[in-house]
Amino acid sequence: MAAMTPLAIFKRTPGTNCGQCGRPTCLAFSVAVATTGVDPAQCPYIDLAGLDLATAGQGGADPSRERDLALVAHLQGKIASLDFAAIAGPLGAVWEAGPPDQLTFPYLGQAVRLAKSGILLDGMIPEDPRDAILLYNYVHGGGGRPPDNNWVGMESLPNSISKVRTLATYCEQRLARLFTGRTPAAIMTLAQPLGVRPGTGTATVEMIVPVLPMVPQYVLFWDEEPADGFEARIKVLFDRHVLDFLDIESLLFAAERMAERFERLASACGQNG
Ligand code: SF4
User: What are the tens digits of pLDDT across the range 27-51?
Assistant: 778 877 776 667 788 888 888 887 7
Pairing verdict, β 94-96 and 205-212: unpaired
Q: Could you tell me the distance, in angstroms and rounded to a whole number, from the CA of residue 197 to the centre of ligand 1?
A: 43
- Least confidently predicted of 73-82, 106-115, 192-201: 73-82
Determine the pLDDT at residue 214. 96
pLDDT higher at 22 or 271: 22
| Nearest to 10, CA basis, from 36, 45, 62 | 45
- Return the SS3 of 186: helix
Determine the pLDDT at residue 272. 44
User: With a 6 A CB cut-off, is 41 part of the ligand 1 pocket?
Assistant: no
Separation of alpha carbons 246 and 136, rounded Å: 10
Q: Are 107 and 135 within 8 A, CB to CB?
A: yes
DSSP 136-155: HHHHHH---SPP-S-EEEGG
- For residue 26, the ligand 1 atom closest to its alpha carbon is 6
Q: What is the CA radius of gyration of the chain?
A: 21
pLDDT higher at 84 or 230: 84
pLDDT range class, residue 273, cuts 50, 70, 90: very low
Determine the pLDDT at residue 73. 85
Q: Is the pLDDT of residue 1 over 60?
A: no
pLDDT range class, residue 139, cuts 50, 70, 90: very high
- Return the SS3 of 20: coil
DSSP 79-127: GGG--HHHHHHHHT-EEE--SSPEEEEEETTEEEEEETTEEEETTB--S
Q: Is the pLDDT of residue 59 over 60?
A: no
DSSP state of 207: E
Percent of the chain with pLDDT over 70: 91
Q: Could you tell me the distance, in angstroms and rounded to a whole number, from the CA of residue 29 to the centre of ligand 1?
A: 7
- Return the SS3 of 225: strand
Determine the pLDDT at residue 37. 64
Q: Is the pLDDT of residue 63 over 80?
A: no
Determine the pLDDT at residue 206. 96
Q: Could you tell me the distance, in angstroms and rounded to a whole number, from the CA of residue 43 to the centre of ligand 1?
A: 5
Residue identifier of the C-alpha nearest atom 4 of ligand 1: 21
| Nearest to 4, CA basis, from 46, 130, 118, 73 | 46
Q: Could you tell me the distance, in angstroms and rounded to a whole number, from the CA of residue 103 to the centre of ligand 1?
A: 23
Provide φ and ψ at 251, rounded to 5°: -65, -40
- Omega of the bond leading into 100 within 30 degrees of 0 (cis): yes
**Mean pLDDT of the residues in the chain:** 87
DSSP state of 171: I
Helix axes 26-36, 63-78, angle to 10 degrees: 150
Separation of alpha carbons 120 and 96, rounded Å: 14
User: With a 6 A CB cut-off, is 76 part of the ligand 1 pocket?
Assistant: no
pLDDT higher at 89 or 26: 89
Q: What is the mean pLDDT of residues 114-136?
A: 89
User: With a 6 A CB cut-off, is 105 part of the ligand 1 pocket?
Assistant: no
Separation of alpha carbons 168 and 154, rounded Å: 10
Q: Which amino acid is at 173?
A: Q
